[in-house]
């Protein structure tokens, strides 16, 4: 599962369920720039750093959320854990 899928299937619904962007005064800012990039010299900067989400309540930034891709997670099936007499 790539990062975009992780956001759409896991993070976005979790934020909404927690009231972010739903409750009055709360906002979810996506792809929010959090710095201008590392100073490299001669007036140049490196790539700007962006957060996947910044959570804002009453115009105060409270949290930064960084989504990551999910790879190699096996979902357990129930039959693996059934008790088998023996």
pLDDT level of residue 78 (50, 70, 90 thresholds): very low
Please give the Cα distance from 43 to 55 (Å, whole number): 32
pTM here?
0.70
> Rounded to the nearest 5°, which phi and psi values hold at 48?
-65, 145
pLDDT, averaged across the chain: 83
DSSP annotation of 57 reads E
Q: What is the pLDDT of residue 63?
A: 95
What's the longest Cα–Cα distance across the chain? 73
Provide the 8-state DSSP code for 84.
-
Sign of the C-alpha dihedral, residues 16, 20, 24, 29? negative
Query: Residue 20 pLDDT > 90, yes or no?
Result: yes
Cα(33)–Cα(50) distance, rounded to whole angstroms?
4
Q: Is 64 left (phi over 0), alpha (psi -120 to 50) or beta?
A: beta
For the chain, domains (ranges, CATH) are 3-74 (3.90.1570.30)
63 versus 2: the higher-pLDDT residue is 63
Structure confidence by residue, pLDDT tens digits, 30-59: 999 988 888 898 989 999 889 999 999 999
């Amino acid at each position: 599962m790539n990062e975009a899928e992780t956001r759409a299937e896991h993070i976005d619904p979790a934020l909404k369920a927690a009231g972010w962007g739903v409750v009055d005064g709360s906002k979810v800012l996506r792809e929010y720039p959090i710095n201008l990039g590392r100073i490299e010299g001669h007036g140049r900067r490196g790539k700007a750093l962006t957060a996947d989400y910044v959570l804002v309540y009453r115009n105060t930034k409270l949290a930064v959320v960084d989504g990551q891709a999910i790879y190699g997670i096996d979902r357990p099936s129930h039959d693996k854990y059934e008790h088998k007499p023996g």
